[in-house]
Amino acid sequence: MLKVLSAMKNNFRQYGMLLALASAMILFQVLTNGVLLRPMNMTNLILQNSYILILAVGMLLCTLTGNIDLSVGSVVAFVGAISATLMVDMHMPAFYAMILALVVGGLIGASQGFWIAYVKVPAFIVTLAGMLVFRGLALVVLQGQSKGPFPQMFQSLSSGFIADPFHGEMHILTILIGLIGSIALVIGEFRKRRKMMKYKFDVLPLWAILIKLVFLVAVINAFTLVFAAYKGIPNILVLLFVLIVAYNFITTRTIPGRHIYALGGNAKAAKLSGIKTERVMFWIYTNMGIMAALAGMVFAARLNVATPKAGQNFELDAIAACYVGGASVTGGIGTIIGAIIGGLFMGVLNNGMSIMGVGIDWQQTIKGLVLLAAVAFDLYSKSRNR
């Protein structure tokens, strides 16, 4: 029992946010008379928040360095405008237009990363300028008007679902994916435990592992059954899964990931230890530009039109997702999984309050208070550990 309590204490940020997300879902499930967890609403919850979750993955790397990116909402609008111009006006095939849009996003991120990393202009100022510049350029490209519709292939990026070869009343392939994922989770957990025991690390008791696995397997299969009862797994959820796995691997298992945490923990010490901090910072913002471009295409595909007002306040939602998900305002602390949980928590708040008919004014107020409480908790916990 002591080992279990110790593990929960050491991972309080992640467990606490997970419990907060579960509590919010149960609360709104009751308050909305069961509407929140209906298959169609759960699918819409993912579709409506997918672009914020993509931005949160990129933003987490920025927050790990103790910085933020205020330009991502404007980049979303600008890349959406570029995509519309290429596909609607110039009739470029969707695949090539998407590649070109990602390149544009990368160049935008690289240009901002150059000023931040090598000229040493504060990230807040560079990205604030970027917010104004790219919002203006989106207006210029679209000439103040909306542009669409997009080709079907592009629309499927955001509104498509994986095909089911079994053609049953429920989406059988989705159920099979849930079962395969559950088996992979169980095998992975036991392999990890065996490896830790081999190197004499402390591990949780077997009963605690089994309780944890039963809970996680139940959650995975409950959600896949919910999706299977509607149209199955959305394409965008597959894309999100790939991004989460890839970025979680990069940040936790690779040398560049360790360099990012080291830079956020103590920039001077990181530089003295041989880490090329300028290069790390440059690539973080280049990556943020690419992620903003991807989010811009997903948002434009969902609306099936590019508008100059697209992406408004997206930067605030992405930043809030990271901090609510456990990232530290001073840098060096935070995880990709935490940012995703934080984004989902804010999405459940939005969705639940909308179903209940709470006005946008009170929604903004409550979300602001949640963000303030998350940051205050971070600062309080740090002060106790000093």
Per-residue model confidence (pLDDT) at position 165: 86
Cα(306)–Cα(353) distance, integer angstroms = 27
Global pTM reads 0.91
pLDDT of residue 247: 95
Q: Is the pLDDT of residue 13 over 70?
A: no
3-state secondary structure 76-101: HHHHHHHHHHHHHHCCCCHHHHHHHH
Q: What are φ and ψ of residue 108, in 5° steps?
A: -60, -45
* CA atoms within 13 A of residue 89's CA, in its CB half-sphere: 11
Residue 6 confidence (pLDDT):
61
Q: What is the pLDDT of residues 225-282, one digit of tens each?
A: 989 998 889 999 999 999 999 999 999 989 999 999 999 888 899 999 999 999 999 9
Residue-averaged pLDDT of the chain? 89
Q: What per-residue confidence (pLDDT) applies to 384?
A: 65
Q: What is the mean pLDDT of residues 216-221?
A: 89
Average pLDDT over residues 113-123: 95
Q: Which of 102-106, 166-170, 224-228, 239-243 has the lowest mean pLDDT?
A: 166-170
Mean pLDDT of 122-126: 94
Please state, in angstroms and rounded to a whole number, the distance separating the CA atoms of residues 312 and 212: 39
**2: pLDDT strictly greater than 70:** no
pLDDT at 380: 76
Give me the mean pLDDT over the 89-94 stretch: 93
Average pLDDT rounded to a whole number, residues 13-27: 79
The confidence score (pLDDT) of residue 386 equals: 57
| pLDDT tens digits for range 25-51 | 899 999 998 888 898 999 999 898 999
Q: What is the largest CA-CA distance in the chain?
A: 65
Alpha carbons within 13 angstroms on the beta-carbon side of residue 225 total: 7
pLDDT tens sequence across 328-363? 888 888 899 889 988 998 899 889 999 999 888 888
How far apart are alpha carbons 239 and 230 in whole angstroms? Answer: 19
pLDDT above 90 covers a percentage of the chain that reads 52
**pLDDT band at residue 99, thresholds of 50, 70 and 90?**
very high
Quick: pLDDT tens for 125-136. 999 999 999 999
Q: Residue 69 CB: number of other CB atoms within 10 A?
A: 33
Q: Which pLDDT does position 1 carry in this prediction?
A: 60
Q: pLDDT confidence of 139, banded at 50, 70, 90?
A: very high
pLDDT digits (tens, 9 = 90+) for 190-211: 898 888 888 888 777 788 888 8
Q: How confident is the model at residue 138 (pLDDT cuts 50, 70, 90)?
A: very high
Residues listed for the chain: 386
